[in-house]
Structure 1
Amino acid sequence: MGTQEPADTPASSGAAAAEVELSFLVFETPNLNSAFWDAAIARATAKVPGVKIKKLVTPNVDRTAYAKQLDASGNLPDILQSVNPAGFAEAGKLAPFTPEELANFTAPTAGAIDGKVYQLPYNTQVIPVVYYNKDQFSKAGIAETPKTYQELLDASAKLKRAGLTAMIVSGGGADTWADMYPLTGTVATDVYKKTPDWLVKRRAGEVKFSDPDFVKAAGKIADLAKNGYIDKTGLSRSYADGEQAFRDGKGAMYPMGSWFATSADNNKPGFEIGAFPWPSDDGSPVTPTFTGGGTLVSSSAKNVDLAKKWALAFDEDKENNDAFVKADGSIPAIKGYVPPADMGPVYQATVAIYDQGMKDGSITNAFSQEAGDASLPPGLADATALAVQDLITGKKTAEEFAAYLDEQYAKATQ
């Protein structure tokens, strides 16, 4: 699996001759398994006559790297799911969507590269949400969720005094990305709140990671670990094991993307889970989000127009969006979309954080998740996640961590 086969020779029948086989690269997770993708593909295909879909599955967690491998061998799939468009778009490998094709999306310019959108912005995620164990908060004498960063520190200290681990992290094996979310929170509150286009300025050389605001954000993570509020041993856990550790009550707080909400509702632990946004120093709201993640179409697809039509059908289908919501906690960015009424309390609490962020205008980018012009160079998000482990274990100071990112940024943009 993973190689593109030549289209079948047209048969004598007119219907068969008109059918175009398009390859579609997807990824599988415990939430989004093979049956999930098969059902979603079937729903979209039923809406686009003349298309047959050949499903390809990325064999590893890094679907963008796998797409690059396929492209290097001349086998870039016709349609791709949740692959980072950076590099592909600039090289002319992707077909842009028109404003008319994006009319049903709530953020039609999200992830734009040089003014063009190559990936359907169908899904919004809040990154991170702080999910918390209400029983452990009560046991530690924490009556209210933290509204300021100092209150987060105070709550962490109370949890530690009660013999509880304040914060769960993971990041073992191939899941190094899973350690990023405390830092994503502090970058939002300490950097992006003040300078929303910080990464655009970084690309222009106007700011650096070693500047005081970013060093402060990194220093908060180093201090959380130094004070024993982050369980350093958790860095050896896979993402799934980290999630399970929280369910098993091994830590009171779990900073994670909003996709955890559905998992929490579907796999209820023996305690009630609450949710709150990562707090800023002064308590003013900051809501880091990512909108994008949808399908992309190769500019060399067998039939680009049909591939785009099918991609839109896939991402706009109400049943498909309901399925993504129920399986993976999506917040579909489709105009008029309403999630199923029977979604669980953790999902509802998560969406409430996003809705409040929209109302109070506190939406920022989520560091390391950005797409388009305001994104990290290819490969730098992975390098950052690896370096976060050194930040948490004390192998790098905040200043050393920031200097390392500047070095890596320079190499990635040479």
Structure 2
Amino acid sequence: MTATLLLGLTACGGGGFSDGGDGDSGKGGDGGDRTVRVLVNITPNLTKTFWNDLVAPFEKAHPGVDVKIEAPTGKGVADTLQQQLAAGDAPDVVETLLPDKTLAPQMLDLTDEPWTKDTPLVEEASLDGRVYAVGVGEQAQSLVFYNKDAFRKAGIDELPETTDEFTAAMGKLKKAGYLPLQTAGDFTTGLQLLQLTDPSLAQRHPDWYQKVQAGDLTVGETMRPYLKQYKTWIDRGYIDKNALGLKYADGETSFLSGKSAMYVMGSWFTATEAAADDKDFEVGAFPAPVDKGQKAPGPQGATLAAPYMILKKSGSKDTARELVEWLVTDKKAVTAQLKQDGNFRSGVDRDLSPLERDVQKILDDAPARVAQGEGYGDDTLPKGFNTAWNTEVQGLYTGRSPDDVAKAVDRWVEAHR
């Protein structure tokens, strides 16, 4: 859903051919066909069948080219790529990941490719001014999905814009018999708090990542007010105190069954909602609230959807580059990817559901896009931050205080600089 975290990557691997050259001069083992290996993320939406169907038109238009879709063999794309690099058997193209200081030197520099210029978030995801990853669309992150029936029954006529209004709405929803805010265990707990705070934090500290990197601010110091607010929601029963026992998918199911009134998640949730045929209420979306006195809507937390990078050592470099260009610029290919995983791209004309129209409007109205959590491009925190943050936030459910959590987060960041 978001860019998978990367550990140290040191080895370089070949791509589709063994010669390691810069072009497509190598020959495959099947009569000279050109093979491009693409390591992709596999999810309930992004099945291997979907990926194979997606690239079929490219193969048809390029006789002799075989695009070989590869699913992760490790815990995920990042883990699998590490294993392949270490074994000298890396793919030609990797999907899902974004470059960092260690990974970027092993990827093809696409900065001077003219077709990258109009791709989504290309500048935000660049590293030291260089483009290594290009994507299909955007994943809006700071979204609150809500049960319209629940809001009507609770007498909430105006969607909350500030955190105070958001808290007041949760009180009304609880009185109306709903669990106000749905969460879950797994990665959901910490992710949701990051998603909720993006618009406020970006206004309070526009250069937050740079100041944290320089030591002028600490994560715990700036997040302490939000941790305290979140703890009050737990204490008041606005969030299920036993939520950590739920899996990510269980949280989605609970919200879509009508048991809870709001669910904070990224825009990919629109695809899940569309598949919920037995749902008997309408779901809407509004931007995450901002602090009192701030402009609403605030900057939208956003990440690059379906990012692609090309391995510098690919033996099928030219074909791989042509494939990636097609994947992120061809109208039919882009539309198929956006639709399949609930992603968005301004200027792309596709049929949107009412809920998707809500999300697209939120993106269009947002004054800016901002990174969140571990971040991307030049706006980053130490690798592994998202996992560490999630663990600490979950401590609020087991008796730890917001001050304890904030201090633990700062200790972790300082130890991993």
TM superposition score category, shorter chain reference: 0.7 to 0.9
Which residue, out of 111, 117, 122, partners 1:108?
A: 122
Alpha-carbon distance change, 11 to 208 in structure 1, aligned in 2, over 3 angstroms: closer
Partner of 1:259: 268
Any gaps of 5 or more consecutive residues in structure 1? none
- In 1, Cα distance between equivalents of 2:71 and 2:29: 31
- Letter matched to residue 148 of structure 1: T
**Are residue 410 (structure 1) and residue 417 (structure 2) matched?**
no
C-alpha distance after superposition, 1:107-133 (max 9, x if no partner): 331211121121113321111210111
- Letter matched to residue 312 of structure 2: S
CA RMSD, 1 decimal: 2.5
For the 8 Å contact 1:119–1:292, the answer to whether it is kept is no
Which residue, out of 312, 321, 325, partners 1:312?
A: 325
Aligned residue-pair number: 393
Secondary structure at 1:163 match in 2: coil
Q: By how many angstroms is 1:394 displaced? A: 4.4
Partner of 2:288: 278
- Map 1:169-318 onto structure 2 (within 5 A): 169-171=183-185, 176-211=186-221, 213-268=222-277, 269-282=279-292, 284-286=296-298, 287-291=300-304, 293-318=306-331
Q: By how many angstroms is 1:25 displaced? A: 0.5
- Letter matched to residue 375 of structure 1: T
**Are residue 396 (structure 1) and residue 400 (structure 2) matched?**
yes
Partner of 1:382: 387
C-alpha distance after superposition, 1:217-259 (max 9, x if no partner): 2222222222211113232222222111111112110001011
Which residue, out of 85, 110, 131, partners 1:97?
A: 110
Partner of 2:337: 324
- Letter matched to residue 224 of structure 2: V
**Are residue 368 (structure 1) and residue 373 (structure 2) matched?**
yes
Alpha-carbon distance change, 369 to 274 in structure 1, aligned in 2, over 3 angstroms: farther
Partner of 2:91: 77
- In 2, Cα distance between equivalents of 1:201 and 1:38: 44
Alpha-carbon distance change, 12 to 222 in structure 1, aligned in 2, over 3 angstroms: closer
Partner of 1:23: 37
C-alpha distance after superposition, 1:11-45 (max 9, x if no partner): 899xx43x322211112111111211111122333
Alpha-carbon distance change, 208 to 5 in structure 1, aligned in 2, over 3 angstroms: closer
- In 2, Cα distance between equivalents of 1:250 and 1:4: 51
Alpha-carbon distance change, 42 to 309 in structure 1, aligned in 2, over 3 angstroms: same
Q: By how many angstroms is 1:292 displaced? A: 5.2
- Letter matched to residue 144 of structure 1: E
Q: By how many angstroms is 1:106 displaced? A: 4.4
Q: By how many angstroms is 1:87 displaced? A: 4.5
- In 1, Cα distance between equivalents of 2:398 and 2:125: 34
TM-score (ref. length: structure 1): 0.87
Q: Percent identity?
A: 27
- Letter matched to residue 348 of structure 2: Y
- Letter matched to residue 110 of structure 1: E
Partner of 2:53: 39
Secondary structure at 1:252 match in 2: strand
Alpha-carbon distance change, 316 to 396 in structure 1, aligned in 2, over 3 angstroms: farther
C-alpha distance after superposition, 1:153-184 (max 9, x if no partner): 1111111222320011123xxxx222234312
TM-score (ref. length: structure 2): 0.86
Q: By how many angstroms is 1:270 displaced? A: 0.6
Secondary structure at 1:308 match in 2: helix
For the 8 Å contact 1:24–1:79, the answer to whether it is kept is yes
Partner of 2:182: 168
